[in-house]
Amino acid sequence: MNIAYISVPYRYGQGKPGTEQGPAAVEQAGLFETLAVHGQEAVRYGEAAVLSEDAVREEDPQLKRLEGVVHTTNDLHLIVRDTLTEQRFPLLVGGDHSMAIGTIAGLQQVVPRLGVIWFDAHGDLNTPDTSPSGNIHGMPLAVALGEGHQRLTEIGGSDVKLQPEHLVFIGLRDVDAGEQELIDRLGIRVYDMEAIRTRGMDTIMEEAIAYLKETTDAFYLSFDMDGLDPSLVEGTGTRVADGILLDDAKTVLRHCAEQEDFIAAEFVEVNPLLEEGNGTALLANELIGNLLQYMRNHRLVK
Ligand code: DIR
Ligand code: MN
Ligand code: MN
Ligand code: MN
């Protein structure tokens, strides 16, 4: 009973209403049944605190709703740290991707040399200086690397949370100029759609995990729903053409699940207000089911 489902019902890292309803949508899609089917306690183990809408203002156009992001990611980092300390596997559902500032900060306090697999169409490596939108969901990896506003880089302590060689991108295909500059300067490992097509996801995941194992003690998967092909995810805020298809997404999950040092996963950017039905949440729930299935022999799932 070691999977700990943690919800992060918030949207302050981006501008479209709806991601705050992501966790409820995934629950409605059957998340508790999925947990039960895989022998896990069908409960919400924790929920990150979220400021009310009227408490959050859009003061700085290059750091929109900063106060709202700081509040939730600070709370989340404590929840994630404590969950991992209890030998549980944090399974997070969001919420927009800025939540990863808290996830990474929390995990890193327990695992100083943390590895990250970032499944996303985007680099999420912007800073207030480079961001085209001012949305903090485009910044969490820069923050983890120690770049960006101090209120964000200080969550979980002032040390740098992530080393560039401990990060791998899967599915990247929409990168801003400042992000590309950072990728090049820091030599960050990228597997784009071209690489996935020509080499196959199996080979890529084997290589990615072997690469992380060289210098990290454990890793987690951050799964942005917009990494998937837009035909699969109507309910996510920033869809990008030519994305990852279902079989390849499952291959990512399977390779992660097979590793003993796989310690957490998050599914983010589910926005049920952007579609008629609940398709994207249903898909997130299905993928979580696949992940738990693949993890049935995992040391943290007893
Ligand atoms: C864009 C979009 N690069 C930005 N980022 C998104 O606003 O910084 N990340 N959508 O998931
Ligand atoms: Mn993202
Ligand atoms: Mn994205
Ligand atoms: Mn290292």
Q: What is the DSSP string of 57-89?
A: ----TTSTTHHHHHHHHHHHHHHHHHHHHTT-E
| Per-residue model confidence (pLDDT) at position 301 | 87
CA of 138 relative to ligand 1 center, distance in Å: 4
| Per-residue model confidence (pLDDT) at position 90 | 98
Tokens of 150: 């101090």
| Per-residue model confidence (pLDDT) at position 1 | 58
Q: Ligand 1 — pocket residues by CB below 6 A?
A: 97, 120, 122, 124, 126, 131-133, 135, 137-138, 176, 224, 226, 238
| Per-residue model confidence (pLDDT) at position 302 | 72
ipTM above 0.90, yes or no: yes
CA of 82 relative to ligand 3 center, distance in Å: 27
| Per-residue model confidence (pLDDT) at position 240 | 98
The answer to whether 153 and 146 have CB atoms below 8 angstroms apart is yes
Determine the atom of ligand 1 nearest the C-alpha atom of 176. 3
Beta bridge partners of 5: 91
Rounded to 10 degrees, the C-alpha dihedral 6/227/277/41 comes to -20
The answer to whether 264 and 90 have CB atoms below 8 angstroms apart is yes
| Per-residue model confidence (pLDDT) at position 59 | 84
* Cα Rg of the chain (Å, integer): 17
pTM over 0.95: yes
User: Which residues are within 8 A (CB) of 166 and not within 5 positions of it... i.e. 6 or more apart?
Assistant: 113, 114, 115, 116, 212, 215, 216, 219
Q: Spell out, as residue ranges, where the chain has pLDDT lower than 70.
A: 1
